[in-house]
Amino acid sequence: MKKILYIAIFLILITEKSFSQDYIVQVNDRNRAIELISQASTFIENNELEKAYITILESITIDSTFRPAYLYLFKIFTLDNLFADKVLPFLIKGRNIYNDDDELTFYIAEIYRIKSEYEKAKIEYSKAINLSKNNGENFPLIYLYYLNRGNCNLKLNQIDSAILDYTNSIKLKPNHSNTYYNRGISYYAKGTIDKACEDWSKSLKLGNKNANVYIDKFCKSTKNNKSLK
């Protein structure tokens, strides 16, 4: 009888052990959190973002360890950047729970970047990159960790760092046209025109028609013209 009772008690509690500390969540709370996130998803589909936001916060209040809640908060931000300041502290809260989560850290960095807080964004991108090296670099968004840190470096006129980030991004996703486009801008800012034109040419071939503007303006009147044909 004691053995059966012990098993029953064990099933009532969910212990999360992958966080910075142990969390115990009652099954009823987890189920209610899931239900609320399902409601929030419907609100998002209907573009009722404020309702979705409020519903997600209710879910987090009930069960702060339910990771999808934080992912949906970021989705709201991607649909309306005006939610940046509302969403950010809760994403930080989620990252503090899942303290080895490179994806959540990346989303924090994205919000800082959109807010033009490039130094803060760089710090978070760097954290995400370091975590990804421990978690495994097979997650499909990791090339963006480097690409967008590179974009921050370019905004801050840290050109060598930007080029390095774009190069690492290309290693992870070789056919991403915007990475070559931005690295070309970085090479041009550094005065390395040949490499800039090579990157813009590659970007154009991969479908980025905006690269043609730079090619026409900076490359076709130079010795690079031959290599671009």
Q: Put residue 47 in one of left, alpha, beta given phi > 0 → left and psi -120 to 50 → alpha.
A: left
pLDDT value of residue 14? 36
> CA 91, CA 53: separation in Å to the nearest integer?
13
pLDDT value of residue 229? 40
pLDDT value of residue 222? 53
pLDDT value of residue 138? 82
> CA 224, CA 193: separation in Å to the nearest integer?
8
Residue 106's closest CA among 151, 69, 148, 164? 148
Using a 10 angstrom Cβ sphere, with 0-12 exposed, 13-18 middle and 19 or more buried, the burial of residue 158 is middle
| pLDDT, block means (10 residues), the chain with 229 residues | 32 40 85 98 98 98 97 98 98 96 98 98 98 88 98 98 98 97 98 98 97 94 49
pLDDT value of residue 28? 96
To the question of pTM greater than 0.85 for the whole model, the response is: yes
| Element at 23 (helix H, strand E) | strand 23-26
- Phi then psi for residue 205, to 5 deg, are -65, -30
Residue 84 structure tokens: 């940046």
Give the chain's end-to-end CA distance (angstroms, integer). Answer: 82
| In contact, 215 and 228? CB cutoff 8 Å | yes
The DSSP secondary-structure symbol of 16 reads E
| In contact, 88 and 111? CB cutoff 8 Å | yes
> CA 100, CA 76: separation in Å to the nearest integer?
23
How many residues are listed for the chain in this entry? 229
pLDDT value of residue 10? 30
- Phi then psi for residue 188, to 5 deg, are -65, -40
pLDDT value of residue 16? 44
| In contact, 169 and 146? CB cutoff 8 Å | yes
| In contact, 188 and 157? CB cutoff 8 Å | no
Residue 153 structure tokens: 């470096």
pLDDT value of residue 21? 56
